[in-house]
Amino acid sequence: MPQSISKYKLYIYLFFFIFLSSIFNFQILENYYAKFSLKNINITGLPYNEKKIIKIKLNNLKNVNIFELKKDKVLEILSNFNFLENIYVNKVIPSTINVNLSKTTILGETIINGKKFYIGENGNFINSNFLSDQNNLASVYGDFQIYEYLNLIKILKNSSINTENIKAYYYYKNKRWDLLFSNNLTLMLPSKSEEEYIKIYKKLLDNNHLINIKIVDLRVSNQIILTNNNE
């Protein structure tokens, strides 16, 4: 009989040992997850408004274990904001990620299906709700492909034309552009050889041949048609 009592006590001791060990292990796990769960998300490189809308989305990652948080998951969320150009993400153990962002240069604004979009140098039409108001942007009219506009901007800059002096671009179905400058001069380009004709315009400008001129029409091959302000 004493032997059986000893076995009984042994079982009781084993039971409590396993039970208490399990509680201890659970506490270790809870402390581990609490210590290494994501609590802080630091965003730099953007103005307040842009930073705010991005942080709202990234906050969904809070309380995720930082070791289990993959960079791809962060990038997947950030990919929804097509105004971003450069993205750098790094973890700071135990509970922080730092996100450094930069946005693309905005080169104009346009209307698509009745809504305003900004034109990014990164090749995206950017919903205006994503960004704070952008000042002194050229308006771009017509049903154009974004690469066509970006190519035109590149040609203008390579030809040393100050695009800040252009207040509107008009694109036509025959794939040509009119440019309206801030002095109300209109440059009418042909549908082909834009670079060649922009160089012609630059020579006219540099040689002061455009004084009191309101229209420079280069649409006809081998012809320069100038319209005076008085006409």
Residue 19 in this model has a pLDDT that exceeds 50: no
The pLDDT value given to residue 6? 60
Six token digits for residue 84: 């971003």
pLDDT tens digits, 85-132: 999 999 998 989 999 999 999 999 999 999 999 999 999 999 998 888
Q: Which residue has the higher pLDDT, 9 or 60?
A: 60
- Residue 20: the pLDDT is 47
Helices (H), the chain: 2-35, 48-58, 71-78, 146-158, 194-206
| Encoded tokens for 55 | 């942080």
pLDDT tens digit sequence for 28-54: 445 555 677 899 999 999 998 899 999
Predicted confidence (pLDDT) per residue in 217-226, tens digit: 999 988 999 9
Q: What is the mean pLDDT of residues 5-20?
A: 53
In Å, how far are 120, 162, 191, 218 from 184, measured between CA atoms? Answer: 25, 15, 22, 17
For 149-208, write each residue's pLDDT tens digit: 999 999 999 999 999 999 999 999 999 999 999 999 999 999 988 999 999 999 999 998
pLDDT value of residue 224: 93
Distance of alpha carbon 52 from the chain centroid = 14
Q: What is the mean pLDDT of the chain?
A: 87
Residue 13 pLDDT > 90: no
Domain chopping of the chain, boundaries: 138-228
Is the predicted pLDDT of residue 2 greater than 50, yes or no?
Answer: no
CATH 1.10.3720.10, domain 138-228, yes or no? no
Tokens of 182: 């801030």
pLDDT in tens, 129-149: 888 878 899 999 999 999 999
What is the reported pLDDT for 1?
42
Tokens 């801030």, residue located: 182
Q: Which regions of 121-194 does DSSP assign to beta strands (E)? A: 125-127, 139-141, 166-171, 177-181, 186-188
Res 14: pLDDT: 53
The yes-or-no verdict on residue 67 having pLDDT over 90 is no
Beta bridge partners of 151: none
Select from 189, 183, 194 the least CA-distant residue to 224. 189
